[in-house]
Structure 1
Amino acid sequence: MALANSLIVLDFETTGISPDMGDRAIEIGAVKIENGVLTDRFQRLMNPGRRISPFIESYTGITNAMLKSAPGNAEVMAEFCEFIGDSNLLAHNAAFDKRFLDAELSKIKRRYPGNFACSLLVARRVFQSAENHKLGTLINHCNISCDGNFHRALFDAEMTAKLWLSILSTVEREYGLSNISFNEIQKLAKTPKKSIGKFLSSLAATER
């Protein structure tokens, strides 16, 4: 049984919001969590084959000059496939990152065997009193130390990983669930907010 505390947390910086509109990844950052411990990191810039807009340069701090000497997307994504292995995957607002991961890997005819979870959807259910569920807001809500710049892939992945461990710690503390599975956390993300207590309590009763 795959546990929710062992997975790959990833984040993309991109030329825009939709690979269906031709946007490409320009940076990927990822961290590996094994049994609740961050054990490895992956970060690469990648040259999408065209210039990025001034807005993206300003938003991410990634410049055209930085990308000019970076390897191409195909090379980086092939390397990232090896980093993923057979792990499950996690991202904050995972639908966005999954779209880009799927699009980039389809170009090199590669796939990944794991499944995705979304820390945004899970946080909405576990931290219902948070002002909102943006990554930065949740980091503050959980009193997680933050020393770096959001909108860079590795930093965002590291912050998401720390948020994820805080989510799992909260679930364990409040419900006694120390070994929640990846499959159960996916179900939690789809459970109505009003039913979260009942859902987690039932899991805890089964675990005992």
Structure 2
Amino acid sequence: MDPIAVIDFETTGLSPAQNARATEIGVVIVEDGVIVSRYQSLMNSGAHVPAFIEQLTGISNAMLRDAPPAAQVMHEVADFVGDIPLVAHNAAFDQKFWDAELGLIRRTRRQSFACSLLLARRLLPQAPSHKLGNLNRWAGLPSTGTAHRAMADAEMAANLMGFMGAVLREYYGIGQVSHELLCGLQKVPAAKIAQALARIRQAAAC
């Protein structure tokens, strides 16, 4: 599989459109299925963390008072990721915050996002749940720490991507798993995924 950057945000709410801000980011760089580098930081935007979010994530307003400014963190993490293709579990959520926080420092995303949630719904339909933690337990993948903390969730999503890459190679016979392929597969209706993968396998054999 191509190098990928798997990211996860913790935030004060559901959407930047509702004035929510990021409170923590975790990123792992994966090469040949192995995590080779990590970036993690709390980030202080000045936004208030509601009590229910603190209960969910364990990230408090007191913790963020001593955290580096959000602008500093986003410059650092954007430089860390560079142009490496991005992956997140429920990428629609993380993409919104990545774009919004980059926009506040006048930077723009250049690469596309693959979504491990959409891919899991297509490649792992037999899983009883497609929530990240449930998928990792079902697949027998290693525990990475406390859920709803950015680094633990990024590592879980990275391990899940490795698992799905193995499914594509070993079950579906796809020899070369690229980020571009993943972005295409996540748009295929779940009922048609086997036919789509058969066409890809046949095209590669020609």
Indicate whether the TM-score tops 0.5.
Answer: yes
Q: Could you give the per-residue CA deviations for residues 12-40 of structure 1, whole angstroms, max 9, x where no partner exists?
A: 00011110111100000010011222110
Is the 1:43–1:153 Cα contact (8 Å) retained in structure 2? yes
Aligned pairs (5 A) from 1:1-208: 4-208=1-205
Structure 2: gaps (5+ residues): none
Q: Distance in 2 between matches of 1:33 and 1:178?
A: 18
Q: Secondary structure at the match of 1:198?
A: helix
Name which of structure 1's ranges 103-112 and 156-165 shifts more when overlaid on structure 2.
103-112
Q: Distance in 2 between matches of 1:13 and 1:80?
A: 15
Per the TM alignment, residue 123 of structure 1 is displaced from its structure 2 partner at its CA by: 0.4
Q: Secondary structure at the match of 2:127?
A: coil
Q: Distance in 1 between matches of 2:169 and 2:85?
A: 21
Q: Secondary structure at the match of 2:133?
A: helix
Q: Secondary structure at the match of 1:179?
A: coil
> Structure 1 residue runs of 4+, over 4 Å off?
none
Is the 2:144–2:152 Cα contact (8 Å) retained in structure 1? no
RMSD: 1.1
Call closer, same or farther: CA 1:200–1:150 in 2, change over 3 Å.
Answer: same
TM-score between the two structures when normalised by the length of structure 1: 0.95
Q: Could you give the per-residue CA deviations for residues 116-155 of structure 1, whole angstroms, max 9, x where no partner exists?
A: 0100000000001111211011112211121511000000
Is the 1:5–1:165 Cα contact (8 Å) retained in structure 2? no
Q: Distance in 1 between matches of 2:53 and 2:166?
A: 35
Matched positions, count: 205
Structure 1: gaps (5+ residues): none
